[in-house]
Amino acid sequence: MFGLDRKDTSLLIVVAALTLLAPFLLNPFPEGSSLAQFNAGYPDLMQRFVIFGIFAIGFNILFGLTGYLSFGHAAFLGVGSYSAVWMFKLLSMNVIPAIILAVIVSGLFAVVIGYVSLRRSGIYFSILTLAFAQMSFALAYSVLTPITNGETGLQITLNDPRILGISQTAQGGIPVTNIFGLEMRSTYQMDLGPWLFQFNAGYYLCAAIMLVAFYVAIRIFRSPFGLTLRAVKSNQQRLNYTGMNAKPYTLAAFVISGMYAGLAGGLMASMDPLAGAERMQWTASGEVVLMTILGGAGTLIGPILGAGFIKYFENIFSKINDNVLHGWFSFLPDGLEDFIVGILHPFIGKGWHLTLGILFMLVVIFLPGGLVEGGQRIARWLKRGKASKSSQNTNPAE
């Protein structure tokens, strides 16, 4: 199916099912209940899940296949965002041209950075990419202020000279992003008893693009090009001895990865037409590294799992405060309640990074292959349990 083998086709179908059913799967608890705090089925967060999933899929093509660790991929995310917002300001509020421009400009930017950075390998390559990203961040804040609007950030206004669209609505407001008239913020709400499910047009556009990006990544992984990239990661020096020049392959992987990042940046601007230099900071580059390693570098679905895991912690656990904890443990005596809340306080709210750091450390120590390895271990354990149970139920031959 689609040129994939049975295993990859099944994986694509699973990812598609999880993505399409996300509004149901991410809202398991009734509205108003104490556990509704852990629901994640609202449009803004679901959009972030798939957008950063695209970002991580692209980064995994470079890091997972070639072993080249880039600390500057946030530069392409920021370039994609700026390009998309400029398209909204100058052409129209249709997201398709903006996304296309974001991918093209990010790809060209990746060619320049990759051509210079790939002259070195290992830690020197990582430092070069980090330097380029920080240079881009500094330029966006200072020299390129006429293009990026500096600290304020680039955003659409009522005075934009939009060629193929209106500059303001009939009510005098700023027009919203859309795809052929369907607004990205359009949301249908479904009430099923105490549950509330939201189906957002912007989320499903991002989800559809993520599925296409995931399919392309599978084809890259299974292609001769992907096998060559794996050879680069395994032993580039030995590959050079065969007479094959690995530089064009690594540069192609770098550019493809940068285009994925630009696509993610374009989608971020399409959902919220604002671009700021903070998207190009080194912390954003480090975040996608954590996503890939946490999910499982070199695997297909790992980066998506890692992106969802980190964004869930960032948006859900960061909102838990002492008042929420007191509500959870109100059934305990006052002294014990205060004691438990005092212990948990450093790990919630603004301290969610500490919780995430501990979990990341545990995954790296006990699951070097990331969350994917954890799932594989559970699957093998269940298979062994079924096999041993079936052998016990088999009557011995007489």
For 18-72, the pLDDT digits (tens) are 999 999 999 988 887 777 888 888 899 999 999 999 999 999 999 999 999 999 9
Whose structure tokens read 């607004």? 183
Running DSSP on this structure, what letter comes out for residue 82? H
Cβ distance 101 to 245 under 8 Å? Answer: no
Supply the pTM of this predicted model. Answer: 0.92
Please give the distance of CA 81 from its chain centroid, rounded to a whole number: 15
H/E element holding 166?
none
Distance CA 173, CA 164 (A): 17
Tell the residue number behind the tokens 């919780």, with chain if given: 355
| pLDDT band at residue 330 using 50, 70 and 90 as cut-offs | confident
Q: What percent of the chain has pLDDT over 90?
A: 47
SS3 395: coil
Q: What is the pLDDT of the chain when averaged over all its residues?
A: 88
Is the pLDDT at 391 greater than 70, yes or no? no
Q: Which two tokens stand for residue 33?
A: 């209940």
Please answer whether residues 254 and 118 qualify as being in contact, where contact means their C-beta atoms are separated by less than 8 angstroms: yes
Helices of type H across the chain = 6-20, 22-25, 43-66, 74-90, 95-117, 122-141, 145-148, 201-222, 224-241, 247-271, 282-295, 302-315, 322-328, 334-344, 352-366, 370-393
| C-alpha to C-alpha distance for 362 and 368, rounded to whole angstroms | 9
What mean pLDDT comes out for the span 373-377?
Answer: 87
CA distance 304 to 296: 9
Render pLDDT for 142-197 as a digit per residue (tens, 0 to 9).
888 989 988 888 988 888 888 887 777 777 788 899 998 889 999 999 888 888 89
Q: What number is the average pLDDT over the span 228-252? A: 88
pLDDT at residue 238 greater than cutoff 70: yes
Cα(30)–Cα(34) distance, integer angstroms: 9
Instruction: Sort 66 into a burial class: Cβ within 10 Å, 0-12 / 13-18 / 19+.
Output: buried
Confidence at residue 173, expressed as pLDDT on a 0 to 100 scale: 81
* Angle, alpha carbons 82-88-94 (nearest 5°): 125
Q: Which CATH number fits domain 6-281: 3.40.50, 1.10.3470, 3.30.70, 1.10.8?
A: 1.10.3470
